[in-house]
Structures are given as C-alpha cells and as structure tokens.
A and B are shown apart, each in its own frame.
Chain A
Amino acid sequence: MRRVAFNRPALNRVVLNTAALGVLAVSVFPVYWMVITAFKPTVDILTETPAFWPARPTLDHFATAVNAAGFWTFWRNSLAVTVSAVLLALAVALPSAFAVARLRWSGRRGFILMVFVAQTAPWSALLVPVYIIARDADMLDRLPTLTLVYFVTTLPFTIVTLRGFIAGVPRELEEAALMDGCGRAEAFRRVVLPLLAPGLMSTSLFGFITAWNEFAFANALMIKDQGDRTLPIWLSGFSNVFGTDWGATMAAATLFMLPVLLVFLVLQRRVSAGMIAGAVKG
C-alpha cells in the first residue's frame, strides 16, 4: 500500500490562506471603496492620489443625496413595489413548486420545462409590448403595474429553487404527519414549511435584489405621476451635463444598498444555508 505524501504542508497552508485573502479582498474592496468615497469631502475625492481611509470624514454627500427632491417618496415606492412583488412571487411559486416536487400529474414535465425556458425571456425587449398592454388597460402611472412585472420576472427562478428545496425534504417526515391524522395541507404546513425557511429566504433575497434595481420599466411605465418614481430613477439623477458628483453618487449608492444588506443580515444564517442547499435540482 503506497502512502500519498503531502508535500510541504506548511507551504500549502500559506498558499491557501493567501488565495483566500485575495478572494476576500477582491470581493470586498469595491464595496469598501464606495463607502469610504461617500464619506470623503469632494476635495479629497478629486485628487490623483487616492486615500484608503477618509482623513476628514464628512456627511455632506449623504445630505445631498437625502435632500434630493422626493427622496422619501422614492424609498416608499421602491419598498412597496419590491416587497409586494416578492411576496406575490412566493405565494404563487410555493404551490407550483409543491405540485411539481410532490405530485404526479400529466403535463408536469412540460410545466417544469416551460418554467425553465421562461428564464430566457428577453425582458429588455418586452418593454414596448408591456407598455402597450399597460396603456390599453389604463395601467400606466400605477405602481401595481410595476409589482406585476417584477413578480413575473422573478417567478421562474423562485419556482425552480423552491422545487429543489421541497424535493429535498425527506418523504418520511410528511408521511409521519399524514399517519398522525393530518390532511395533506396541514402536513405541508406543519412539516415542510418550516424546513423551507432557508429556501424562502434565499428566493426572497433574489427577488428583492431584482426588483430593487430595475430601471427601464420603472422609467417607461411611470410617466406623469411624480409620486410613482422608484429609487433607480433617483440614483440616475446624480450625473449631470457637466460631469458626475462622485461623492453624492457613492453616498446615494451606499444608501441604495443598505436595505438589501439589511434584509440579508437579518436572514443571514438561513440565507447561507439556503443558498448552499437551494437551486440544487433543476
């Protein structure tokens, strides 16, 4: 029996840790740079030698960002549209995912195939048809229209992911509950749903990020009503004809990112487990 020699384990350790630090740096640096730029006074930003730590931190840029007209309206709108789109997607995807994962019916294969193909939809190209449909239905300048668009954009991925999670819950747990006298729905609620939490969290995060960022539809479908604008419109307002106010732009981007981070941090442990275990079965 031959023994495999581990050459120079100490060096391996060093190489590994260096690589790990490299990955960490590359992941984190851009975000770090954005945040410290937001705190630097403009004079310090427009200098040729970048400073890696703000010597004289200031809140001026955040003030500029917050004082943009309609700031709180934008936040309210983005939150409303995003949260309702995510909830709607979960509510619709869960029963479908359950039907595909647990039940047997003709057309099941066709359905899951259709859902997968739906991910290839060219949304940027559907802007004009959606506009026409919304116009003819008198749904322009109404926030729920955006909710519906974001809902259907995230639906395919949500169904596919939740299906993977449900398929992974051991059959025996459900059958034990059935044997205890629960109906199907109750067994699902008591047994499967709690175990789905990571999956629900990770698909929520995905849906949140998708809806939170969307610009083209928000720009084209919300026309006359100033009260209907969302945050991406606000973010685009910091560059003007003569150049970009980088400090204010970075401050705005930092604020823009906070809710996503907050949602993630709150769900943190479950999201990690969720992302790890989810989207496993196509």
Chain B
Amino acid sequence: MARTLARTAARPAPLIGAGTRRKGTFWPYLLVAPALAGFACLLVYPLARSVVISFQHFRLGELIRGGAGFAGLANYAEALGGPEFWGVVRRTFLWTAANVVLIMVISTAVALMLPRLGRRMRLAVMSGMVLTWATPVLAATTIFQWLFQSRLGVVNWLLAGLGFDSFRDYTWFAHGGATFAILVALVVWQSVPFAALTLYAGLTTIPGELYEAARIDGAGSWQVFGRVTFPILRPLFGLITSLEVIWVFTCFAQIWAISKGGPGGATATLPVYAFQIAQSLHRYDLGSAVSTLTVLMLLAVLVVHLRRMFREENA
C-alpha cells in the first residue's frame, strides 16, 4: 500500500464527478465549512488583529487600558530602518539555509542507505529515528542544554578527551557562534527522521527494473541517482523541502527555550526577534510589524513552489 500511495505523488489522481453532476454540489462546501470556520475565527481573525496593531501605537498601556492610536507606517519605517532588523533577516536566511541543506542532505543519505541494509539493522535504525522524532521539543532542548553544559556536559568531556583541550569547561552558551551551532544541531537532529523516513518510503516505490536497466546501460551509482532516483522523487523532495523551509523559518520554541535569542542576539531569528520586541520590550506594535514582514518574506520565498502546486492541481 505504501507503494500505491507514494506513486500517486507523481501524478494527481482523477476526481470523481468531474464535470457532470449538478445535484449535491453544496456537499464540498459543507464538508470544508468546519475547517473554514476554524481558520476564520482562530487564524485569520488574530492575524488581522495583528496587522491592525502593526499600524497602531500599541504598548503596555494600550494593552491594559485600550485606546490605541493610529500610527500609520511608523512601525514599519522603524523596523525596516534599523540595521538590527536587516541583521536579523540575514541571520534568519542563514539559519534556514543551513538547517534545510543539512536536513535534506542527511535525510537523503539516510534514505539511500536504508534499502541497502540488512533487515534487522534497517529496523533498528528506523526505530531509533522514530524515537528521536517522538521526543518532545521541550525534552530535547533540556537534553541538549545538559549535553553541552560547560563543566558537566558529555560533549566537553569527549572533546577534551580527544585532545581538544580548549573545550575543557568551554561555555558553549556564552558564545554566539557556538550557540547557533548547537541550535542547528538540535533542529537537524529532530527534523531528519521525518524527512528521511518519508523519502525512504518514496524510494521503495521505484520499481527495481528501472535500476536494473540503468546499471545494464553502464551507469555508476551517481548517475543512477541523477537519472533514475531523483527525477522520480522530485515532487516528494520538493514537498518535504518546502515544509522544512516553513518549519525552520518559523522555528521559535527551540531557540527561545535554549538561548532566548542570545547571547548578544546571535541566535535571534525573525520569529524570536518579533517575540522579544513584543514581550520583553512591550512594543507590541513593532513586534506585529516585524511578524507581518516575516510572513510576507516567507511567502515570497515559497512563491515558486506555491505557483507550481497551484498549476499541478486539477482545476
């Protein structure tokens, strides 16, 4: 069954009732109504409120007393005008690129490795990955803080033992670059299982004959990947990549739990920066402006994928 499902990734399935039936055309709308209602009340409405706040003068006083005044584009001007914002944007793109590249490369490698393993080893590796995937985010951040603790953490003990004496009692979380690296490691560690296992499923749908044929034609391993594997997996690959881009770009919980955007703002990505502005500085108006800009940026990044998705759907 896994193969059937994965195979449909390549081509959209034809729909029932294409064209002819008139009776009962209200059914689809009835079926999506709950979801639409949920989105409207709980997502669109708060989002609209947030955008409205971004055009107002809205601080702690306004939150408590009400009576927010109109501020026009002042918040956007302030956000876009400061060098800090653009530093955060650059950092967010760097963060997203680093994570997504690592996740996709490692996942692909793992997915390619899995079919070549013996059955028991494969089961063990897959089980290990599912354990990772099931680890709650808060538990994972706690574990990683413990692993990288300066005096008692295992990582420092291991590195010092391997001869890197500079890592003895090294305070990872006091350095921007080191903290950034730990967060990348954490996010990659947690994200690879989902991507790898999904890619692996896609791999299992490729008929063995195609591989045979390629090898008979004299293709080496890389060419097999390039000419057979990747083209078939491309839609799946595209979907997972775009999902990971969204999840990494909007990633907040892990960063806030470990470093709150520090030290020195070195791990402040856009979502963290917006939260800092709103909650620590009580500048809800500026925070909303930054969030709105974040969403626009993310949509811009995804626009290519979104257009392709739209075109591929049957009208």
Contact = CB atoms under 8 A, between A and B. Distances in A.
B143 A33 contact: yes
Size bracket, chain A contacts = 35 or more
Interface in B23-43: 25, 27-29, 31-32, 34-36, 38-39, 42-43
B1 A277 contact: yes
B140 to A, nearest CB: 7
A98 interface: yes
Interface string A171-196: 10010000000000000000000010
Interface string A267-282: 0100111011111111
Size bracket, chain B contacts = 35 or more
B107 to A, nearest CB: 11
B129 A27 contact: yes
A96 B128 contact: no
Given A33-B143, A125-B274, A125-B287, A280 B8 contact: yes
A31 B25 CA distance: 52
Interface string B157-201: 100000000000000000000000000000001000110011011
Contact of B13 (A91, A171, A268, A278): A171
Which of the listed residues B136, B288, B299 has the most CB atoms from chain A within 10 Å of its own CB?
A: B136
Contacts of A235: 138, 142
B229 interface: no
Nearest to A111: B32
Contact of B16 (A104, A151, A261): A104
B191 to A, nearest CB: 12
B278 interface: yes
Contacts of A45: 152
A132 B253 CA distance: 22
Given A99-B28, A168-B5, A132 B63 contact: yes
A179 to B, nearest CB: 13
Contacts of A260: 134-136
B218 A168 contact: no
A96 B35 contact: yes
Contacts of B242: 282
Interface string B1-20: 11011101100111111110
Given A20-B122, A20-B124, 16 more contacts: A30-B189, A48-B157, A111-B36, A113-B309, A114-B39, A118-B43, A119-B246, A120-B302, A124-B252, A129-B288, A167-B12, A167-B13, A174-B16, A253-B138, A253-B143, A273-B1
Query: 4 tightest CB-CB pairs across the interface, nearest first?
Result: A276-B201, A125-B291, A168-B5, A129-B49
